[in-house]
Every structure is written in C-alpha cells, then in structure tokens.
C-alpha cells in the first residue's frame, strides 16, 4: 500500500520575513537557562513536533505521567525554519518566518520553560521551494558555511540541536544543482564538529536521507536520532543507528486513530526501539490521544495541565 504524507507544511509557503539573527543581528547572545535534571521516567524518548505558525511550543510541557509526574515529552521540535536561496550571492541562507522568529526572540518564555522541565528544544529546517537544499551544495566550503549558520543559531538562542527535513527544496529552481553525493555528508560532518554535544536528528525523507556516505565517510553515527516521516505507519529508518536512537513509529496527534497509536507504541516496546515520534501537538487537551501511547511506553496515562 502506498503511504501518503499527511504532514502539512504551512510555513513553507509563508513569505520569509527575517534572516537568521546570527548573521543579520548584532545583539547579545541569549543566555541558556540551566535545564532541570532529567526525571526518572523509563522508556522510549518521546518527540513532539509543533507547527508554530498555529500552536505554542509551551503545549509540549503541559503533559505529565499520572504515575510519577514525569514529563511525557523529552524532545520538542520547532517546526520550522527554512533553507532559502539567495539569488544575489547564489548561496543557501537560513531564514525564519515571523512565527519561528517570534518563538526564538521570546526564548525566555517559549523555550526556557521547556528546558527547565528537562525537555530538549530542537529547530527543524525545511526546504522552501527555492532550489536550495541539504543535498546540492556546490562545494564543501558552502556546506560548511551553512553548517555554521545552523550552529550559530543554536548558540544564539540556547537551543539543543537541529533537525533536518529534506522536503520542498525543489532542487533545480533558480538555477541550482540537482542532489549530489557529497553535500549532506559535508554539511552534517561540519555541523557535528561545530556542536559535538547537541542533537542532530533526521526526518528520514528526501534526497539527503539516501546520501549518507561519501568518500569513505558515513555520517550515520553523527546523528542523535532518526525517525519515520509517514504518520500512522511503521517504517524503520534506513540509517546505521542503534534501535535506541530510531523511531519506526510516527503518529499525528488527533489524526492517527488511538487504536493505531496504541499498536505502534506497543510495537515500539516489543521490538526494542528507543524513540517515539509525534507530530502536530496543538493547544487542546490531547491527553486521551497521548495516553494511547504513554500507557504502552511508560505504563501510565497522561495528565494535561493547562
């Protein structure tokens, strides 16, 4: 059966209003608040993507386990920044739409409260129909330059890492090249060197996901996590990471049926995988949908606290 990608990409069509502040602004780097010690929850890492065009990152911190009070989610993903193409300089540029920029500018109230609960906050980066992507840098130097834009952003806003989502690049637009074998390897290698202790995750889709090795270098081990991009399904990412770092299960909260969510969570545990991916957490009380996986992953229902 052919799987249909149901993930919406509203911000890919939003006009980009600002560049990454590390390149365009000169204000002081935001101080990273000290995260709370990790709680004692045992079980897979739970990940929540949040469409910040429509929803608040703070929703991720509103769910705890009834047994023990631990936070349900371990990683919150800001969805999403864009990789754009500057036709003047003919280079890739990291851009934020107004909603992503608002989250970053208000890190003290939108990001730090999650980190203080022990939740890691990661920025996802997505193509934007302009021809620039992670797989078509014309040289190692240009790949490394974009990696620096990413790591500078992580530093400036006190983030916990970067997520790669190679969709909507539309390779070839604006005279850009088609995917090549070396680009993503150079990009991830440089990014890992820039931020050795941060999260680098792979939304396992697009040309980059199938170009993980070049010149004798395999970047699989440089990723912290990789996950299935098709919601409501089970698909093991084709990357050389241990099961503890993979999410073959992917669910869209409120759209994937609770019975399917339960089945996928049960399979995650029974087959020994260490990550469970969710998408599109909104501001409604989703404790019933979330409990459909927390019962299987952690042996507890989820509690929503507005």
| Per-residue pLDDT tens digits of the chain, which is 306 residues long | 333 334 544 333 333 334 433 333 334 344 444 544 444 789 999 999 999 999 999 999 999 999 999 999 999 999 999 999 999 999 999 999 999 999 999 999 999 999 999 999 999 999 999 999 999 999 999 999 999 999 999 999 999 999 999 999 999 999 999 999 999 999 999 999 999 999 999 999 999 999 999 999 999 999 999 999 999 999 999 999 999 999 999 999 999 999 999 999 999 999 999 999 999 999 999 999 999 999 999 999 999 999
What's residue 188's pLDDT?
Answer: 99
pLDDT tens per residue, range 151-166: 999 999 999 999 999 9
Angle at 130 between CA 124 and CA 134, to 5 degrees: 45
pLDDT tens per residue, range 33-48: 454 444 478 999 999 9
User: Which residues does the annotation mark as catalytic?
Assistant: 167
Which class would CATH give 47-304? alpha beta
Measured CA to CA, the distance from residue 274 to residue 151 in angstroms comes to 26
Give the SS3 label for residue 190.
helix
Q: In the predicted model, what is the mean pLDDT of the chain?
A: 90
What's residue 27's pLDDT?
Answer: 40
b/e sequence 290-305, b meaning 16+ C-beta within 10 Å: bbbbbbbbbebebbbe
Give the residue from 123, 53, 137 showing the smallest Cα distance to 93.
137
Total residues found in the chain within this entry: 306
Those residues with Cβ within 8 angstroms of residue 234's Cβ, 6 or more apart along the chain or in another chain: 228, 248, 249, 264, 267
Measured CA to CA, the distance from residue 174 to residue 77 in angstroms comes to 29
Give the SS3 label for residue 267.
helix
Measured CA to CA, the distance from residue 295 to residue 279 in angstroms comes to 18
What's residue 25's pLDDT?
Answer: 37
What is the DSSP pairing of strand 75-86 with strand 91-96? antiparallel
Measured CA to CA, the distance from residue 208 to residue 182 in angstroms comes to 10
Give the residue from 204, 206, 200 showing the smallest Cα distance to 221.
200
What's residue 8's pLDDT?
Answer: 42
Calculated CA dihedral for residues 181, 184, 188, 191, nearest 10 degrees? 120
Task: Tell me the whole-structure pTM to 2 decimals.
Answer: 0.89
- Enumerate the domain spans of the chain: 47-304
């Amino acid at each position: 059966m052919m799987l249909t990608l149901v993930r919406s990409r509203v911000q890919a069509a939003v006009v980009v209003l600002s560049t990454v502040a590390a390149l365009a602004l000169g204000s002081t780097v935001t101080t990273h608040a000290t995260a709370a010690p990790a709680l004692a929850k045992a079980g897979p890492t739970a990940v929540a993507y949040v469409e910040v065009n429509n929803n608040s990152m703070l929703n991720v911190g509103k769910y705890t386990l009834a047994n023990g009070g631990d936070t349900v989610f371990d990683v919150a993903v800001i969805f999403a920044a864009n990789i754009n193409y500057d036709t003047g300089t003919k280079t890739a540029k990291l851009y934020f739409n107004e909603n992503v920029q608002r989250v970053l500018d208000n890190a003290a109230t939108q990001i730090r409260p999650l980190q203080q609960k022990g939740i890691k906050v990661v920025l996802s980066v997505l193509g934007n129909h302009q021809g620039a992507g992670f797989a078509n840098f014309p040289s190692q130097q240009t790949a490394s330059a974009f990696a620096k834009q990413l790591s500078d952003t992580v530093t400036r806003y006190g983030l916990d890492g970067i997520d790669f989502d190679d969709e909507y690049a539309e390779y070839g637009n604006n005279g850009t090249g088609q995917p090549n074998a070396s680009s993503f390897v150079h990009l991830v290698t440089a990014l890992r060197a820039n931020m050795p202790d941060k999260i680098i995750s792979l939304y396992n889709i697009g040309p980059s996901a199938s170009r993980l090795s070049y010149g004798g270098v395999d970047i699989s081990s440089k990723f912290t996590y990789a996950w299935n991009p098709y919601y409501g399904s089970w698909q093991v990412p084709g990357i050389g990471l241990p099961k503890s770092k993979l999410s073959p299960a992917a669910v869209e909260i409120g759209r994937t049926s609770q019975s399917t969510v339960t089945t996928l969570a049960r399979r995650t545990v029974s087959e020994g995988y260490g990550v469970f991916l969710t998408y599109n957490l909104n501001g409604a009380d989703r404790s019933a949908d979330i409990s459909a996986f927390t019962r299987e992953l952690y042996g507890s229902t989820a509690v929503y606290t507005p």
